[in-house]
Structure 1
Amino acid sequence: MGAARAAAAGRAGGGSAPRRRRERTRGELMSSLSAHGRLTIVAAVAAWLSVLPLFAITQTDDWIVPAAIGVALVAGTGYVLRKLGVPALLVPIAQLAVVTLWLGVLVANDVALLGFIPTTDWATRLVDVFQEGLDVTSTYVAPIPVPRGILMLVVGGAGLVALLVDALAVWLRRVPLAGVPLAACYGVAASVMTIGLDWWWFLPPAAGFLALLVSEGRTRVAAWGRSASPSARRSGIPETDSLARNGRRVGAVALAVAVAVPGIAPVLTEGVLGPGRGGGGGGGQTIRTDNPIIDLQRNLQRRENVEVLRYTSSVEQAAYIRIVTLDVFDGEEWKTSDRPVPDSVSSELPWPQGLDQADWPVADYDIRVTENFSSSWLPLPYPARTIDIEGDWRYHAPTLDVVADGDDVRARSYNVQSLVLEPTVDALSSAGPPSDDVDAMLELPDELPPLVTELADEATEGAANDFERAAALQRWFRQPGNFEYDIEARGGHNGDALVEFLNDRRGYCEQFAATMAIMARYLGIPARVAVGFTTGTYQGNGTYLVRSHDSHAWPELYFEGSGWVRFEPTPATITGTAPEWTEVPNQAPNVPNADPTAPEQQPSNTAPAIPRDDQLGGGAASGEQDPPSQWPLIVLGALALLAFFATPTVAARIGRELRWRRAADDPGALAEAAWADLRESARDAGHPWDPAATPRVTGRRLAAAASLDDDDHELLDHLVGAVEQARYARRPAPVEALREDTAMVRRSIARSASAGRRVQAFLLPTRLRDSAVEANRRLVDGFDWIDATGERLRTSVAAAATRRRLPAPPPPAE
């Protein structure tokens, strides 16, 4: 029986080794699978985080969940197919197909079999929706709405980013290259936001990229194998891996630097590094008009006021230069209407809409566009009659906008003949009802904010006809003190933006023109918004110079017989006096107030105007004045520079003052405060200071190093005695004039320093260096605590999982 038990035990023992090998093999396999899965998950999370900056340029968050699902589908497809052994080159193709199917579910499920199986109509729908998205991006200013076209672009973009990150990080194991697609959405958002993207939007993609680096690094290092620390095992304290610890610290610093650099990059690019290279007198800066509203705000806010064009006129009256007309308001944005492709500009343009056939004066304009201006729209005075220009240019008859068919106006020279329109007040006041041709220019969304309609009614109360109502609106906007011009105001024309503009009473030409046009349509006056440039600056000999800061928007209102008439609601401080034909003599404006609690505005029949260059034949004042003297900016810059360099010394002095105040009347604390002052002064002067030495030894060494005279030596001895009393006496005795003595000794020590040491002490005093070291120590302690806590948690979870996997112990043998 004993031999049988021994044989059984031997068989059991001999069988345990293969079983342990099998378990170890399964464990290694599970480890490999978990490493692959972990990297896949981290890559997917990083891809989704990288898309979040798009939230800054959209009006809703409806796309976030669909984007997350798209990213998850890409990651899941890649993981499953790789584990099934599908050829690596086929995996991205399958992932792209899955994303496309998901987009079909979102925007074309009603034309697909079972909601997701593609059909011919399904493919056509995807193409149409994709084009809708492109149209929205070229029409709207951020934040943009999220119709199905934008939803498709955002979700498809998120899926594409996830696909690229998965391929680079999981398949090719080129994690650093994955940073390129991870930064793509941030770059898109930053390029769309005309006033800059807040720095915190950089954090999600940066954090995702760092997490991806750490995850891939852990997987790679784990493949090498590690040796455990015996001391750590003996103490029972989890060992914190130094590589991971240092990696996290470097990542934190890199993340902080990466967040700071985009914030100062515009300043470095525009202020320190200067304009980029290029010709045309603009430093290589290009003005574009892809989206008229976006480009209008960008041009007004840009630092460099670059030259756009020059024109010479045959008449003394200068002209506004119009680029494009926005004739549709859909409740969210002013935009151009859908326009059929007309005939090419090869002969005389159509007669202006609504204008009586009369013998209007004709002006001749020679226009030369610089290299700095790029647009498919042709800058023209309104209304143009003939255009002599090379290329395929086409016109839109109702607006007389001229656009290129695959061409650009950059560096073009051309000749324009245009009518000189000066409608009279009598003609405008007696205008009949508008024709049916302009009914579309009265269309408004079903619901306007009540504030818009209320203020429009109040501002035009008592007006007898459409022209008086239009003139009353213009006077109300231009009334001194009623509105303030502010280029930093938030753009947009939706309901919230309109209410914000009318409540805050601040904005720039876009808001003034858009709001007056909306109010005019509400009052039954056909209206649209023109975007272009003011007259520019007169240069002599009939020539005007137009710069980027002359960008402007204004409303055009329709009056039968006079056609489309320019009004000017933007305050006079920017645009000068309003056109003469828009002023009703002796009409006092109504000044409704958006805020009932605000003080009542005082009415005035006149508005201050910028003096016009009438002696030189200038017309309406340009939005751009002669450049001011640079000396104030230079002085302010010098003062700011001095303040910057003086900040460390001022901060050190404040710190010393606070230290003395905290000591109060405590003799021991006062002595230590004096000793700390002395230590900082000695180190600032470059003299040795041994913290392990006694106060008396330190005092002798310092007196010799600083070559103190007898008086200063006596004061130093007095200070040393106070410190010894504070440290070694049972009850330190009060010491009189301790702070004054310390200050005198510090001055003597400072005089003993070299010139270089004095400069160093001014720019980076010892107190700040010590504070930085202390802050770094605390930061390191915090990282150590986080690492240790995470290691303990991971160890606890692993131990619990191991206990669950262990088989139950066999019953005791009988």
Structure 2
Amino acid sequence: MTSSDVRGVAPAMSVPVTCLVTVLFALSSWGSFTNTRFSYLGPILVVGVLIVGTGISARLLRVHGSVVVLLQLLLGTIATSLLVVHHPFPVAGAGRARLVAVMTEAYAAFNPFDLPMSGPDVAPYLIPGGVAAVLLADILAITLRRPPMMGLVVLGVFTLPFSIIGAGGWGGVSWVVFVFTATSFLVMLRLDRAQQLGRWGRRLDEDLPPAPAAGPAVIGVSAVVIALLTPAWMPAPNVTLPGLGPGDGNGPLRVINPTVGLYDDLRRQSDQVMVSVTPVDGDTKTPPSYLRVGVLTKFTGTEWTSGNRDVPADHTGIATFDPPMSDETLLGEATTYRLKASDNFQSTWLPIFTHPLEVTARGPWRYDEDTLDFMSTEGRDETVAGQEWEMTAAPVEPSQERLLAAGDPGVSAPPGMTNLPLLPDKIEEIALARTAGEDSPFAKAVALQNWFRHSGEFTYSLERDVGTDGAALLDFLTDNKVGYCQQYATAMAVLARELDIPARVAFGFLGGDQDEDGVWQFRGRDLHAWPELWFEGIGWIRFEPTPAAADTREPDYTTGALGNARNEPEAPLPSAGTSVAPVPNRPQREAPDTAEVADTGDEGSSTGPLWIGLGIVVLAGAIVLAGPTVIRRRRRAARLRGDAEDGWTELGATAIDLGLPWSGNRSPREEALGLAPHLQDREPMVALQRIVTAVERNRYAERRVAAAVGDDVRLVAATLRKHADRRARRRAALWPASVFRRRVAAPATEGPVTRSERELISS
């Protein structure tokens, strides 16, 4: 390494290091997924330093850019595998088994309803994603010398929390993260521009005053401040596009899973008041409880969601509802409440009690007539925070006799409320075993509730998060019977659907505290989830499977004589060698291909997430590798159809791809002298002479002559490729250097130029 190389080490490090810092600042926004940012940022920093250090060292040694990228990719992949899987090449044997286990466990643990997570469970996904962002940013900003394009990487990193969690709450990007990221990005652009200008050499006009150094800083700071403050100052415009469709603009509102981000408070146990409830007519006989926020009706196999809602425009927040059942004697005393949400409750759903008779909520609220829950039409732009509304509701008080008399759900049952994805067969066997001997849907439901609450097998805890997918659910029901309300509600709802009982999951507030003014206050720690089951002639009623340690109260209609059945000996769970007769008339789902794994828990985890991740990596790699080749072919086709200058450019690109001498700054005759030794045959030399003549006439003649030289260029280029070595031809085909080449000095002419060659070119 020469002394000039040593002096160039610091400038060569400045842009790559700043690029790495910029991406790390942006990646800190992924803290929305976990409470322990260092669990993923630490490993990404280690691998990022390795990638950047490899790039700096290789570039100082004048290694070709394609080789630099391959080295970074190889070392980055090995380092990431060591940090995540503790194996350098997890492609077979124990390494692959470890990779499958780690990634599947992380996939099962990832639950958008329970973010941020308290442990490093999702780190195996965040670390490779962050390393990929670092590598891509280094390729764009350093290898390809396109630093502004690195902003696309930052944008993609910022987009991930928005797309999964949403713009509000935990899904937003902190203004601190934005400021540091934007500032670092601008510093990187400034350093890159300074390096480019420094390559021009010493100033010739020393008398001119230097440009003020504060100018770029003022511009950069102004840009960051404006970008930060403008969205807060600008009102959200109410833009209506021209009516091009057949509708009148009052069609249904489609809402897809607006519950993401609400379940995080279940484990945060906040003492902040979320909703205040005041009985309009004074105190009530029964304290208000189970204030419902929303309903989850669809189980995807990995989580419960609200599904796709088609909510008509006339279902506004001011509405009157019929009693939930035809027999009004099943209803308790109606009470009118005045509700107010605090500024801390950023929910897009409106809390109401389960069986409303009348609701008065002004604003962009609409209700779903199937679930009777209210949602905002403005999304995160209009939440319930700070709003007031009134409602009248009456509790459902059916008798056990009436519930026991309810037959199997018929055609009047809500559609889709017994649908389940492909699950391990043992889950259905558990449902049948725990309800053996019960002859009515309601008795079976009570048996399930009693098993969770009173068998002594299950423990309530906020510390353990077991997930809600099929493998995690089976593990919760058989081995690790520890969880909080979300696990109990979802487990009972799934088991009920296995028995063909319509079921869904509701979430909201369990109960509140009454202050001295008679106002009931529901706090963050009161957030709760519970199942609701549907019975013929009665409708939806709630159950409470969460153990009593969580201060929950089972409904009165599930206690008494029927509830005493919990003291009888329980039926044993089916073993792997026993079978239970299936429910009559139930459509049989295809058995999963993991029967053995169902008994052992984590062995039955699916490798689907692994193959999806590998497919994305392979696809991204193929795009990166194929991109230069595709660009080169398109440019070649366009140039061969052009004039002499286009043909000359194509000839130069061919020389650069093959590693032949080509400066781009010399005259056509000088460039031709460098190519002549590589032609060897007279016919391509004559063709090269015609190309040079056409270019010179086009540049220097009094009147430009548009000459087509495509055939001559093809002949000369083919001859150059013919006499090039195999490695050069392969490199030109797979990674054409001309795509990345700028106008820099070419290598010296290789070999002597014969007298006949010089005369041919000069004649």
Please identify which structure carries the higher helix content: 1
TM-score, normalised by the number of residues in structure 2:
0.45
Which one has the largest radius of gyration?
1
